[in-house]
Amino acid sequence: MPKRKLDPLPSAAFHILLALADNVLHGYGIMRQVEQQTNGGIRLGPGTLYSSLQALVEEGLIEEVDRSPAAAKGTERRRYYRLTSSGRKLAHHEADRMADLLRIARAKKILRGEYV
């Protein structure tokens, strides 16, 4: 029985879950999406990206889907991924946990502002 690798959820895995929240994406697409949603702060390299994808698949948090027709007819060999319901649930939990942390941070005057 392999040890659960996503407890606690690594930052890269959470970003991938978020990237797939409203999209079906392939590896490069996920990388770009993560880069975009973090304002260029995080660019997942292939090692981190595919290791995380594999771990997420193994945990049933995301799943591979059939290739898009556009990719299927080309020579490129890409896998596409989408969020599963348990993945969505976990992402929700993680976001909740972070929101709690934010509330605490604000209460402690570590973080200011009304947003988030």
Partner 1 sequence: MSEQLFAFLLRLYPAAFREKYRDEALQLYRDRLRDETGTFPRARLYVDLLADAATGLPQAWRNSYAVSNAPSFAQITESMPSFRLLEKEKLRPEFIAMGSTLSVLVLIGFGLFMSLPSPFRPLPNSRNPKSPIESVMERLNHSTSPQPDGSGPDGFEVAGVVPATPGALTARGQSGAVDVPTGSAPKIDPAERQRVVQAVAGNLQVHYYDHEKAQNASAAILALEQRGAYDAIVDGPDLAVRLTSDLRSSTHDLHLIVEYSSRSLPNQPVNPPAALPAVVSEQYRQAMKQQNCTFEKVEILPNNIGYFKLNSFPDPAVCGAEARAALQNLNQADAIIFDLRDNGGGQPDMVAQMSAPLFDHSVPWFNPRANPSSTMLSPAYRSKLANKPVYILTSTLTHSGAEHFTYNLKMLKRATIVGENTAGSAELGAFHRIDDHFGMGIPETPIANPYGKPDWELIGIAPDVRVPAADALATAEKLALEYRKN
Return the structure tokens found at 3.
Answer: 């040890």
Return the structure tokens found at 20.
Answer: 């797939």
- Of 10 and 88, which CB lies nearer to partner 1 in the complex structure? 10
- Residue 81, strand partner residues: 25, 64
Q: Tell me: does residue 43 bind partner 1 (CB under 8 A).
A: yes
- Of 55 and 90, which CB lies nearer to partner 1 in the complex structure? 55
Q: Tell me: does residue 8 bind partner 1 (CB under 8 A).
A: no
Q: Tell me: does residue 15 bind partner 1 (CB under 8 A).
A: no
Q: Which residue in 90, 88, 115, 92 sits closest to 102, CA to CA?
A: 115
Q: Tell me: does residue 55 bind partner 1 (CB under 8 A).
A: yes
Residues in 81-110 at the binding interface with partner 1, rule: CB under 8 A: none
3-state secondary structure 29-85: HHHHHHHHHCCCCCCCCHHHHHHHHHHHHHCCCEEEECCCHHHHHCCCCCCEEEECH
Residue 26 CB, shortest distance to partner 1, in Å, is: 8
Q: Tell me: does residue 78 bind partner 1 (CB under 8 A).
A: yes
List contacts with partner 1 (CB under 8 A). 2, 5, 26-28, 31, 43-55, 58, 76-79
